[in-house]
Structure 1
Amino acid sequence: MQRARLNRVHKLTPVMPAPAKPVILTNTKNKIQLNAMLVEGPLNSDYYTNAIQKHTLTTAGVSDVPVAIVGGARIDRHDLCSTHEEADIIITQHAISCSLSGKCVRVVYDDTDVLVLLVYFYHIKCRSRNSAPKIMSSLVKELGVIDIGATATAHTGIADDFLAIHGISGADTVASLHGVGKATVIKIAKKGTFSLSKVSDVAKPLSSYMRHMAR
């Protein structure tokens, strides 16, 4: 009964009482409706053509192509097109794009998966370029701020394996190996005897990877 209630698709309207948070966040169709309602106002031409702010507002998640509102104009950001529905991926994509364009980035989010993705892609795409600084901070004020660039530099030795660590140890976007947690995978990566990025090599037998996981 509980599962059926959470999987129910609601027809959301701005004037109706909002369903419980789990009802919205556990159903993709409900999330899409909520996103559409949230951006309906800013994407209305009566609103953005009269906007005088110099900031850029970019909305994503309603369609595959994000929309940017800047200087009273609407711009379809085809360069940020994504068919992925997972917010972790979209947030990382936009943050890296902003950093590469020379804009300082602050990601306000409480999620280890996003941190791993930000550090990895900063290491791969931004470290050797003149990209803008990027930090990640919590929604809770008392918690610290993480410098993504400094974190990538501090973990240069295993940064190439971060995507493998992210996938093998469990994440929102991929299935994980049973019984293999983040501590185990990071321990293997730090040993330096086996590059976890080789896991994507389909020519190697699975048993060769599992031997290292079992150590």
Structure 2
Amino acid sequence: MKPMYTCASIAILNTLQRAAPDRLEPMLRGSISSNGKLHCRLGTQYLRTQPIRNSSTLLCDAILSDDNFLQHATQNHQLVVTGENDMPTQVSKGRKSPRLDLASTHEEADILIIQQAIHLAKEDPESHVRVVCDDTDVFALLAYYYLSEKLQSSLTMQSPIMGRSCIDVKETARKYSAIVPELLALHALTGCDSVAATYGIGKTKAIAMARKGYTLDQLGKPLANIVEVTEQATAFMGACYGITTPTSSMTKIRQKLWAQQTGKSTAAPKLCSLPPTTEAFEQNVRRAHHQVAHWYSALSGDPPTNAAVEHGWEADDTNKCLIPRNMEDGVTYAPEHILKLVRCGCTSERACRGGKCGCMGRQLPCTMFCTCGGGTACSNPFNITESATDHADIPDDSDEANDRAMNVDDEDDE
């Protein structure tokens, strides 16, 4: 009988624990990644374990510190736990040892799942590897690496929700072998866990463009020039919107679509149906480029050295996280004469911090025409730097300023 390997999530184990605490399957071989993904080889016996906590770190520590459980569960099985350390810990017959061959400094759980699933498939070509997961990123990675690594073992992906279909990754990679080599790039550009999707442009349309010959072979390549990457991505996304005329500007594509849609109807088209501007699209391409570069290095021990803050992300030191950058510093959200048409009347100590601010509510920066003055005391997160727009030639109380500013009569923050 072929051995069966399964990847399941902690949520599934929690459900099993509540439903049948005396019949929780032990692990013949497995690993727990940093966000709680558990890889295990199914056994034929059932053991009882302690209740599983939500924190993956606490879970890993709890498993590795439970000597009685490990001694009993690993007599005939191997358990590999991947926690915060770069090197997973293997437990066999109660004895713990490091797994040097599985050491990795990658932090993404999706990548850790792929590393160990592909490792199992390579180690035992006669095995059947089953991944219990609903994540589309994981599916794209499985299909890509199944083909690129020329695997032969059976590999399937099954949803943790009962009643949903089971995907045959082996058959998928074989059937779509023409586009699988660029699957990671087109998946990232059209929306993944770390890259925003574009309204109306889904995977089906992206695959159709790939079949027509539009390529993204530069996206994610460490040595690729970001300008060439952006130009290639612009041509690809332009084709997805139906614009096949060569252009390096998403703003021009946006203008063409606006003209087409307004020419067919007197009603203004929905702004969400239009592509992003060039400045906003460039940041999304940088994020996709950064993500795909990590995916391409999934089977290596270390991720690429390119910094996230140089690829469409900003460091939030207060919350210790990364936030997506909308546009480069100094780029205005709208032309200057448009910004001067709207001004708020916020006068509180925390001016423009709440949603009642007319400028913030429209995702526009405050200016010197606003009651708050748009200076350092203003808390509007959409404010632009003084160097980005030149207001020095128009004093605050001039007739020209008053004529060009429209008071929106916004309510105060407080």
TM-score by length of 1: 0.72
Does 1:183 find its partner at 2:195?
no
The one of 110, 131, 140 aligned to 2:134: 110
1: CA distance between counterparts of 2:180 and 2:210?
9
Equivalent-residue separation in structure 2 for 1:45 and 1:76 (angstroms): 17
Report the residue type matching 1:87 in the other structure: A
Of 39-48 and 140-149, the range deviating more from structure 2: 39-48
Distance 1:70 1:175, change over 3 A: same
CA 1:205–1:124: 2 relative to 1, 3 Å:
closer
The Cα shift of 1:177 comes to 6.7
Cross-structure match for 1:207: 231
CA distance, structure 2, for counterparts of residue 150 and residue 70 of structure 1: 34
* Residue in structure 1 matching 2:117, options 92, 95, 102: 95
- Runs of 5+ unmatched residues, structure 1: 1-24, 26-32
Amino acid of the residue matched to residue 188 of structure 1?
A: M
**1:26-175 alignment runs, 5 A limit:** 34-44=55-65, 46-47=67-68, 48-102=70-124, 103-127=127-151, 131-172=152-193, 174-175=194-195
The structure where helix makes up a greater share of residues is 1
Instruction: Give identity over the alignment, percent.
Output: 32
CA distance in 2, matches of 1:80, 1:166: 27
Deviation at 1:90, TM superposition (A): 1.1
1:142-180, Cα deviation, whole Å (9 max, x unpaired) = 1111111111001101010012123212222x4357555
Of the two, which has the highest radius of gyration? 2
Tell me the distance in 1 between the aligned counterparts of 2:85 and 2:229.
39
SS of residue in 2 equivalent to 1:198: coil
CA distance in 2, matches of 1:198, 1:55: 44
What letter is aligned with 2:134? D
Q: State how many pairs are aligned.
A: 179
What SS does the corresponding residue of 1:85 show, helix, strand or coil?
A: coil
RMSD between superposed Cα atoms in Å: 2.4
Equivalent position to 1:196, from 216, 227, 238: 216
Give the AA of the match of 2:216. L
* One-letter amino acid matched to 2:209: I
| 1:41-99 per-position Cα deviation (integer Å, ceiling 9, x unaligned) | 33127233454542322222322212222233223122222222221111111111111
Q: Give the Cα–Cα distance (whole angstroms) in 1 for the partners of residues 113 and 161 of structure 2.
A: 19
What CA distance in whole angstroms lies between the structure 1 residues aligned with 2:169 and 2:232?
A: 33
